Structure 1
């Protein structure tokens, strides 16, 4: 029996047309750039340009009364022998340890309590209220409340027989007091960030732990903390970077005193720039602070595995 083979149609030589970018796509791209433009312009004018100019000025000797004169690495060499710089870094590190330690611990506790015990929007919103007040106002209010002679806190201490404490006037108490003020103001905001991370943890995980008989402490240690790690790393990067740049609370209370006990690095930079008109040296200090913050942020994200999640 003969087999009939159907003829193969000849090739026409026509190519499948490529999909061209239509007018609608070009219009969407233009609209996107239109919305991005204001933010990009603001970033370039207020962040990128000042950063690049600051790096340039760090290699110069510059005051407002003359043009910058290139001096190479002289400013950085002088910083290595600057006792005030090393003192300011030591003071700043002590402040960061106190501020981050207490702020993160308290904020984590508040976030867990909000997540597990209450759904009231009023209670959750009230925790954020201190953060909504300007930092300068918060510092001034606590400065008056903690005043050695007329402050309400020392008055209350006197009622129970405790001698007045020079919270802002003592070398030992000044930095812990400033750290306490900023913890009080920022812990609500930090708790809100952590609370947002807790919202991403599936409730089924907690239900399974309850079925297995896990206690609250075991659930927190074995489930909440590991699953919350990416958010905690982000919070640590934000808070540590902000703590290294503390300025306004110190500027309106102790102004760096007593005897350099609160002269943090930002206060020292402002003093060299505007107090001594040594903008080149101040720019070099800023560059060093920028490098330190970049290294610290990278190390936190790398060592704490901020880009990984146990939910995956």
Structure 2
């Protein structure tokens, strides 16, 4: 009996069955989505949706008590000729410059000292201590310490034979005082971030430098700073963004005074929205601040080449 051979299909007509997705991959995907979902939902509810609504309100006249009315770019045109807005931007820039310069320098010195002299957990805890205290509490404590009448700081100054200083009442001293309060609070945290970056620098680099006869100062500028550049870039970006968001220290001490000397842009937005109920214009100022911060961050990352490392 002859066997019947089935016809052979051309190779082009043979189609491989689509690969079945492994069950393990599906399980891992579900688990991953379960972990990501809370953060994604929180981001959407508390960040994305308010940001979109804020962008919409920036083109409206809205004061909560009546429905918003679309006004186009009127809020942005008002902003361009608003002297208080430009003054708040200048005041904020003054604060940012003072805060970033001193905070970065002090943090870098502390981090290098910890890296070269001691790596004790106790020392790290002491340095991080001020950062663990709420910013409002820190501001109030320093407000009492530097009070013109009863502050122990002014009593010490008077004991030295000098005149008392109105740290929060003098327009020339108010912003530097607020800046140094926040430097005192954040310098430990910034130092620990830099210290973590120093841990990634190979010890062989310093050994080779010592063999070549380079001193501490030369080693710092020729090895430490170049190899620490990506970490410093990220620290600077985070610190600058945080400095632009200064609000609580001003709110519990000077409340924008004296004579708008400490009316930073965040406090100006708060004043517009919750004191004057000009939510449309406050939203426009917020959008302008977002654009400014995004531009500064991108420019800073580009100039510092934060995505490149000399260790590669």
User: Please, what TM-score do these two structures have when normalized by structure 1?
Assistant: 0.95
CA distance in 1, matches of 2:34, 2:284: 36
Q: CA deviation at 1:69?
A: 0.5
Q: CA deviation at 1:127?
A: 0.1
CA distance in 1, matches of 2:231, 2:282: 34
Alignment-derived partner of residue 140 in structure 1: 140
Q: CA deviation at 1:16?
A: 7.0
SS state at 1:128 partner = helix
Deviations 1:231-288 (A, max 9, x none): 0000000000010110000000000000100000011101011111000000000000
**11 and 143 in structure 1: CA distance in 2 versus 1, 3 angstrom threshold:** same
SS state at 2:148 partner = coil
Q: CA deviation at 1:304?
A: 1.1
CA distance in 2, matches of 1:11, 1:113: 77
Alignment-derived partner of residue 3 in structure 1: none
Alignment-derived partner of residue 305 in structure 1: 305
Q: CA deviation at 1:20?
A: 2.5
**225 and 11 in structure 1: CA distance in 2 versus 1, 3 angstrom threshold:** farther
SS state at 2:171 partner = coil
User: Which runs of 4 or more aligned residues in structure 1 lie more than 2 Å from their structure 2 counterparts after TM superposition?
Assistant: 10-20
User: Please, what TM-score do these two structures have when normalized by structure 2?
Assistant: 0.95
CA distance in 2, matches of 1:41, 1:30: 16
2:107 matches 1:104? no
Alignment-derived partner of residue 251 in structure 1: 251
CA distance in 2, matches of 1:59, 1:11: 66
Q: CA deviation at 1:19?
A: 4.2
CA distance in 2, matches of 1:215, 1:308: 27
Alignment-derived partner of residue 51 in structure 1: 51
Deviations 1:135-157 (A, max 9, x none): 00000000000000110011011
Deviations 1:211-236 (A, max 9, x none): 11111111100000000000000000
**15 and 211 in structure 1: CA distance in 2 versus 1, 3 angstrom threshold:** farther
CA distance in 2, matches of 1:12, 1:165: 95
Deviations 1:14-60 (A, max 9, x none): 87766431111111111100110000000000000011100000000
SS state at 2:163 partner = coil
CA distance in 2, matches of 1:175, 1:15: 73
Q: CA deviation at 1:202?
A: 0.7
SS state at 2:72 partner = coil
Q: CA deviation at 1:84?
A: 0.3
Aligned residues: 303
Q: How does 1:262-281 map to 2 (within 5 A)?
A: 262-281=262-281
Q: CA deviation at 1:158?
A: 1.0
Deviations 1:72-103 (A, max 9, x none): 00000000010000100110000000000000
SS state at 1:185 partner = helix
SS state at 2:27 partner = helix
CA distance in 2, matches of 1:119, 1:38: 37
**293 and 12 in structure 1: CA distance in 2 versus 1, 3 angstrom threshold:** same
CA distance in 2, matches of 1:119, 1:107: 15
Alignment-derived partner of residue 131 in structure 1: 131
Alignment-derived partner of residue 215 in structure 1: 215
Alignment-derived partner of residue 5 in structure 2: none
Alignment-derived partner of residue 199 in structure 2: 199
Alignment-derived partner of residue 5 in structure 1: none
Alignment-derived partner of residue 231 in structure 1: 231
Alignment-derived partner of residue 4 in structure 1: none
CA distance in 2, matches of 1:163, 1:122: 39
